[in-house]
Amino acid sequence: MINALRKKPVEIEEATASAAAPRPEEVDKRWAIEARGLRKSFKAGHVMVDVLKGIDLLIEPGEIVLVMGPSGSGKSTLLAAVSGLMKPDQGSVVALDTNIWKMSRQKIDKFRLANCGFIFQGFNLFPALTASQQVQIVLKFMKIKPAARKAAAEATLRDVGLGHRLGNRPDRMSGGEKQRVAIARALAKKPKLIFADEPTSALDGENGNIVMTLLRKCAKEQGATVLCVTHDARLAAFADRIITIEDGLITSTNADPASFAHHH
Ligand SMILES: Nc1ncnc2c1ncn2[C@@H]1O[C@H](COP(=O)(O)OP(=O)(O)OP(=O)(O)O)[C@@H](O)[C@H]1O
Ligand SMILES: [Mg+2]
């Protein structure tokens, strides 16, 4: 009897609080990326292989998050689903308050052009173009005028330490320099979201450090949100947070960087 009497006012209070005034942390919480229930299967011969088995991914603005896991665990598939490159079978992705998989292909492409920078393992540079031209191309797609895009491209190349390589073509650059061109290309438009898939796997330790330092700088100085997938344990030290994935499922959303330091 006493319990019942005591309980009632509390229930009313709670109900009123949640209906009229959501708790402050819920109001303020604006994820840069909010992915929910991602599932993806591929056909392998006659069977379907489940590669993403129901993944939630929440990333704060300005965070640099590593997704780590063994080969074949679904890292690249996850990155592609979150970044608008490959539609998941199920689940939603809200990036910068935009529900991307609800949009047309064309709108998704526009969203990516306006907001996303991509860095991949293979650099994907055009053999015939100079470093400056490689970076300018993206800005041309964004309809930035020639003089402005040349200035922006070369400023970004200077930022990544390639001021002396502006006129070089890829065959006259080292692997580390090529990856820095690819990074400059991704960063020149000052994207709010940066997606990197194994950005350092073709690089030695020193060049890997340079790449990760640049990504960290983007996050901390420009507020960019960085999602980087890798199985390179050396990158753990550069992350705000490490998410581990195994066999299509997240096994930790805040793994201890120290636990990766000993693996290599
Ligand atoms: N387009 C595709 N068609 C069929 N199977 C695919 C496709 N893409 C990926 N897979 C399969 O999905 C699984 C996960 O692939 P994914 O590329 O996401 O792994 P990963 O974690 O990035 O691996 P790695 O570290 O080797 O890059 C693998 O078994 C792969 O063979
Ligand atoms: Mg991969």
Pair 235, 61: CB distance under 8 Å: no
Question: What confidence tier does 13 reach under pLDDT thresholds 50, 70, 90?
Answer: very low
Rounded-to-integer distance, Cα 181 and Cα 200, Å: 13
**What is the number of the ligand closest to the CA of 51?**
1
Share the mean pLDDT of the chain.
Answer: 88
Compute, in angstroms, the gap from residue 197 CA to the centroid of ligand 2.
7
Question: In degrees, to the nearest 5, what angle opens at C-alpha 220 toward C-alphas 216 and 222?
Answer: 110
Ligand 1 close to Cβ of residue 45 (< 6 A): no
What pLDDT score was predicted for residue 98?
96
| Residues, Cβ < 5 Å to ion ligand 2 | 75-76
Which among 15-19, 223-227, 232-236 has the top mean pLDDT? Answer: 223-227
What pLDDT score was predicted for residue 27?
53
Pair 208, 180: CB distance under 8 Å: no
Provide, rounded to the nearest whole percent, the portion of the chain with pLDDT above 70: 88
What pLDDT score was predicted for residue 41?
98
Residues 35-60 pLDDT 10s: 999 999 999 999 999 999 999 999 99
Rounded-to-integer distance, Cα 85 and Cα 227, Å: 14
What pLDDT score was predicted for residue 242?
96
Q: Is the pLDDT of residue 16 over 50?
A: no
What pLDDT score was predicted for residue 33?
97
Tell which residue, 157, 140, 226, 161, has the closest CA to residue 191: 226
What pLDDT score was predicted for residue 28?
56
Ligand 1 close to Cβ of residue 51 (< 6 A): yes
Q: Is the pLDDT of residue 171 over 90?
A: yes
Compute, in angstroms, the gap from residue 85 CA to the centroid of ligand 2.
14
